[in-house]
Amino acid sequence: MRIIILGAGAGGGLPQWNCGCVHCNAARAGRLDAMSQSSLAVSADGETWAILNASPDIRAQLAATPALHPTGPRTLPLRSVLVTNGDIDHVAGLLTLRESQAFDLFATAAIHAVLDANPVFGALNPDLVTRRALALDRAADLAPGLGATIFAVPGKVPLYLEGETVQTDLLAETTVGVELSANGRRALYIPGCADLPDWLAQRIAGADLVLFDGTLWSDDEMIRAGLGTKTSRRMGHLPVSGPEGSLARLTAPARRVYVHVNNSNPLCDPASPESAQVRAAGWQVAHDGMEITL
Ligand code: MLT
Ligand code: MN
Ligand code: ZN
């Protein structure tokens, strides 16, 4: 199984267009590596690919990824796109994929209902883009030899569908993790996750690789930095640090990678003490273009 991180960042990326925080300024000045928004590409045979989450940066991400360059006129070796929730950073890139490319679009029925309700996604020609609803906990093939099983993880509805009250640990079709399987190897991709119940930590520990939600380092990070008013958990993201955080709770499998890293997170800076701490604990922090072969 070959995995390419197309975008290691969370929504907004690094630098975020309207952010003058220390990390975004450093990325603009070239002192930190930029991160585009949350997406990865996966292949079992190295020839045909699935994309997991279609970020607003997908045009530049594809241009920067030779494995996903066209093999003929209007022909990309792309078989499918799977989205793990309806968040803008995971679905807006679908609009870029409207230009006469055939692929299957996988999502839960609940996420498909959100896309179906928005006429702008009608730009995806139904003769070419087949919308396929995935049932939870049921295996499907994303590309030749590449299996995927989606499963509910604690999360919430997309920000733009939030009502008066928001349940942030909803276990439903709105936020899913993906178990990828190929050649007897299993990788879990969980870019958004609000909590780590024991069953989920155990499931993760049994995989060969986990790509996990590394959005924020601490629960009040956005508030303390003057960048927002919500806690990490309120945004549907379990913080990395703290006794309940993913760093303390996930000590297996051996291969653990943080993805969906927000621009406020000290993990943006490889020289930060926090980055040294996660490396010492056996984690890697994803970067754009990072490749993993299982
Ligand atoms: C998130 O991951 O929390 C979302 O991408 C936030 C957003 O929609 O901007
Ligand atoms: Mn996001
Ligand atoms: Zn910033």
Domain around 173: 2-287
Residue 130: per-residue pLDDT: 98
Does residue 226 belong to any structural domain of this protein?
A: yes
**pLDDT (tens digit, 9 = 90+) per residue, 40-65?**
999 999 999 999 999 999 999 999 99
pLDDT > 90 fraction of the chain, expressed in percent and rounded: 100
Residue 79: per-residue pLDDT: 98
Asked if 195 and 167 count as a contact pair (C-beta separation under 8 A), the reply is no
Q: How far apart are CA 205 and CA 101, in angstroms?
A: 37
Does residue 294 belong to any structural domain of this protein?
A: no
Does residue 21 belong to any structural domain of this protein?
A: yes
Q: Which atom of ligand 1 is nearest to the CA of 215?
A: 2
Residue 33: per-residue pLDDT: 98
Q: Is the CB of 166 under 6 A from ligand 1?
A: no
User: Read out DSSP for 55-124?
Assistant: -TTHHHHHHT-GGGS-SBTTB-SEEEEE-SS--HHHHGGGGGGGSS--EEEEE-HHHHHHHHT-GGGGGS
Q: Whose CA is nearest to atom 3 of ligand 1?
A: 235
Residue 280: per-residue pLDDT: 98
Low-confidence ranges of the chain (pLDDT < 50): none
Q: Residue 191 Cα, ligand 3 centroid: separation in angstroms?
A: 19
Q: Is the CB of 89 under 6 A from ligand 1?
A: yes
Q: How far apart are CA 8 and CA 67, in angstroms?
A: 18
Q: Is the CB of 148 under 6 A from ligand 1?
A: no
Does residue 32 belong to any structural domain of this protein?
A: yes
Does residue 45 belong to any structural domain of this protein?
A: yes
Q: Structurally, how many domains does the chain consist of?
A: 1
Q: Which ligand is nearest to the CA of 7?
A: 2
Q: Residue 265 Cα, ligand 3 centroid: separation in angstroms?
A: 9
Does residue 125 belong to any structural domain of this protein?
A: yes
State if pTM tops 0.85: yes
Residue 207: per-residue pLDDT: 98
**pLDDT (tens digit, 9 = 90+) per residue, 82-112?**
999 999 999 999 999 999 999 999 999 999 9
**pLDDT (tens digit, 9 = 90+) per residue, 138-162?**
999 999 999 999 999 999 999 999 9
Q: Is the CB of 155 under 6 A from ligand 1?
A: no
Residue 39: per-residue pLDDT: 99
Q: Is the CB of 259 under 6 A from ligand 1?
A: no
Q: Which atom of ligand 1 is nearest to the CA of 89?
A: 5
Q: Residue 10 Cα, ligand 2 centroid: separation in angstroms?
A: 5
Q: Which ligand is nearest to the CA of 37?
A: 2
CATH code of the domain in which 74 resides? 3.60.15.10
Asked if 163 and 61 count as a contact pair (C-beta separation under 8 A), the reply is no
Does residue 131 belong to any structural domain of this protein?
A: yes
Does residue 292 belong to any structural domain of this protein?
A: no
Q: Residue 71 Cα, ligand 2 centroid: separation in angstroms?
A: 31
